[in-house]
Amino acid sequence: MQKRGYSHLDIHGSLVAFAVAFGIFCASPRALSEVITLQGPNVVASDSTFFVIARLSNNDDPLVAYSLDLIAQPQSGAIGSMVGNASSSNFLAPFNVISQGGGQLDPLLSFIVDTIGDGVFFNAVNEGFEPVMPAAPGVNDGLALAAFDVSPGASGNFTIRLGIASVLVGETFTPVPFETRTLTVFVPEPGTLALVAMGLVALHLPRHRNRVKNHR
């Protein structure tokens, strides 16, 4: 999929600008309670695709919409890149906070796009801007399933995090404060990955032989 003309600060059709501006001037400061956790594999191979799940917990405020700006940021010493893949991403429909919380994703205002910064952006809006049920674990706590493509020859640690265009929009159309639990993904060098696999096989063989002896 080709990159569309969206950046982290200029994403047309989203509620980010309105929600943030309205919240700064109208909302009183609140303690963080909502938590967005990014879950996925801790080790992936280069030249592969992996998936990250964004889940919402401690959700006390019914939502009408949300935007997630997922970014893969290389840590010091990392080589290559991880690029968001919007065409392979989705809203995690079986557990989505809106569609499984009594609402329905607006077909015009809900979308997923690649961003210029090599991330993937999710915009989800409930039809009619009505609030949905608060997120319940394993029921409607899903926000997104984001796909990332790892470049050939990549290696090192990468942090999957949320960018500044991420926002939860509450029933009064004000931003709901939240904290993020990021995900660190390690890409070993191809030779290292092969050695690790061989080591696991070597560790497994003695155990297998002992089991065979015990059954004789």
Q: Are 81 and 73 in contact (CB under 8 A)?
A: no
Asked if the structure places residue 38 within a domain, the reply is: yes
Element (H, E) at 211: helix 190-214
Asked if the structure places residue 210 within a domain, the reply is: no
Characterise 129 by phi-psi region: left (phi > 0), alpha (psi -120 to 50), beta (else): left
Element (H, E) at 146: strand 142-150
Cα torsion for 181, 183, 184, 189, to the nearest 10°?
180
Among 176, 191, 212, smallest CA distance to 66 is for 176
Across the range 149-155, mean pLDDT stands at 96
Asked if the structure places residue 49 within a domain, the reply is: yes
Burial of 68 (0-12, 13-18, 19+ CB in 10 A): buried
Among 189, 114, 107, 115, smallest CA distance to 154 is for 189
CATH at 166: 2.60.40.680
For residue 189 the two structure tokens come to: 């060098």
Question: What range defines the domain where residue 161 resides?
Answer: 16-188
Lowest-confidence range among 39-43, 106-110, 189-193, 212-216? Answer: 212-216
Across the range 111-131, mean pLDDT stands at 95
* C-alpha–C-alpha distance, residues 97 and 81, integer Å: 30
Asked if the structure places residue 197 within a domain, the reply is: no
Asked if the structure places residue 213 within a domain, the reply is: no
Question: Within a 13 Å sphere around the CA of 11, how many CA atoms are in the beta-carbon half?
Answer: 31
For residue 209 the two structure tokens come to: 């032989």
Residues 6+ apart with CB under 8 A from 9: 164, 165
For residue 154 the two structure tokens come to: 């990549």
Predicted TM-score (pTM) of the model is 0.78
Count of structural domains, the chain: 1
pLDDT given for residue 118 in this prediction: 84
Asked if the structure places residue 114 within a domain, the reply is: yes
pLDDT per residue over 85-113, tens digit each? Answer: 999 999 999 999 999 999 999 999 999 99
Q: Tokens 């297998």, residue? A: 208
Q: Report the percent of the chain where pLDDT is more than 70.
A: 73
For residue 73 the two structure tokens come to: 């940021």
Asked if the structure places residue 20 within a domain, the reply is: yes
Asked if the structure places residue 9 within a domain, the reply is: no
Task: Look at strands 120-125 and 63-74 and give their pairing.
Answer: antiparallel
